Amino acid sequence: MIQSGHLLLAEPFMLDPYFRRAAVLLCEHHDQGTLGFILNKNIDMSINDLMSDFPNMDAEVYYGGPVQTDTLHYVHNVGELLDDSVKIGEGMWWGGDFEKLKFLVTSDLIKPENIRFFVGYSGWSAGQLTDELELGSWVVANSDANYIFRTKPAALWSTAMHNKGNLFEVLADMPEDISWN
C-alpha cells in the first residue's frame, strides 16, 4: 500500500525521459490522485537564478516533474519552524508559508542543506499510479530524510534500490545502457 512519504523508484528500463532512473518522493496520495517530486534531477539553476527577489541562498533547483512547470515547490526538514508545512514523513515536510520561508532564509535559520526546491511536480490521476504499479513501472520504497538532504542526487536511485535488498541490489548495479554490460 503506497502512501505519502513513500519513494517511487522507476524500473531500470523505463524509457520515459522524464522518469528514467527517477526517485519520486510522494507528498500526497489519496483517492483523487497522487502528487510527488523527482528528487534526483537537478536543472543546473539556483533558487536565486529562478527568483531574483528571493533572499541570497545557494540552493539548487530540481525538476519536480512534467506537470505545471511554471510552479515552485519545496520540501524541507524544518517543519517546526515553517508555518503551514505538511509533514510527509519523519524529518520531511512539504511547503509552508512562503513569506516566513524568506524570513527564515534571511535569518540564516534555513540553509541549503535544509531544503529542496522543485519546478513542477509529478502527478497521477485517480487510479493511474495503481495501474502503473501493476504494470511494474515503479518500485515502492520507504523514504528517509537522508535520501533528500544527505544523499547525492546522482546516487539516489541506486542507493534507494540497493537498500531494498535482494533482487533490487542487482537492479541497482545495472548500467543505464545495457549494452555497457
pLDDT number for residue 174: 66
pLDDT tens digits, residue range 29-86?
A: 999 999 999 999 999 999 999 999 999 999 999 999 999 999 999 999 999 899 999 9
Provide φ and ψ at 175, rounded to 5°. -70, 155
pLDDT, position 169:
67
131-161 confidence digits (pLDDT tens)? 999 999 999 999 999 999 999 999 999 999 8
Q: What is the pLDDT of residue 1?
A: 80
Q: According to the model, what pLDDT value does residue 14 have?
A: 84
Strands 115-125 and 92-94, by their bridges, are unpaired
CA distance 116 to 173: 26
Domains recognised in the chain with CATH numbers: 6-180 (3.40.1740.10)
pTM of the entire predicted model: 0.92
Question: 3-class DSSP state for residue 126?
Answer: coil
**Structure confidence by residue, pLDDT tens digits, 91-116:** 999 999 999 999 999 999 999 999 99
Which cell goes with 34?
A: 497522487
